[in-house]
Amino acid sequence: MAMTLLIGGARAGKSSLAARRAEASGRTVTFVATAQALDDEMAARIARHQADRPPSWTTIEEPAELAVALRKADPDAAVIVDCLTLWTTNLMLAGHEEDEIAQRAAASASLAGDRDAPTFVVTNEVGSGVVPGSELGRQFRDVLGRVNSIWASEAAEAFLVVAGRALPLERWD
């Protein structure tokens, strides 16, 4: 099996699709969560997501070290990484520079792409909208775009998820 990248806007159905595909694999499922509860609203979101996951799933909460989380996952389990957007945010807020984030993305994507069991990776597309009004917003858009491209290069499949529908993305390299 190989890695599948699911990219799209917020609330487009990426996580739901990842969960359905992981369940359909017939394997145990490991969920790698990158969110951090830095405020009450995010804590409530995380609690809702945790409650929605089947109790049989294993959860690895890892906001920064995706390579470590991927190594911890059962090699026979289907893995869901949710999501690269928050992972990138976490690294930027911790002061990591773009090149270091790209290096971490490349190492983690390579591990995910080399797994025999299916791996589903969720991320947001942030380059399709208006140019962000702040320097930090523009930097985030640029860094996440680079991270997404790195992961897409390692993915066997990639889908743009919009309004609960998935469009396959073809390689052109």
Q: Which residues are catalytic?
A: 49
What residue ranges in 3-42 does DSSP mark as E strands? 3-8, 29-33
DSSP assignments along 52-85, one per residue: HS-TTSEEEE-SS-HHHHHHHS-TTSEEEEE-HH
Asked if 161 and 13 count as a contact pair (C-beta separation under 8 A), the reply is yes
5's tokens: 């990248």
Cα 103 from Cα 56, distance rounded (Å): 33
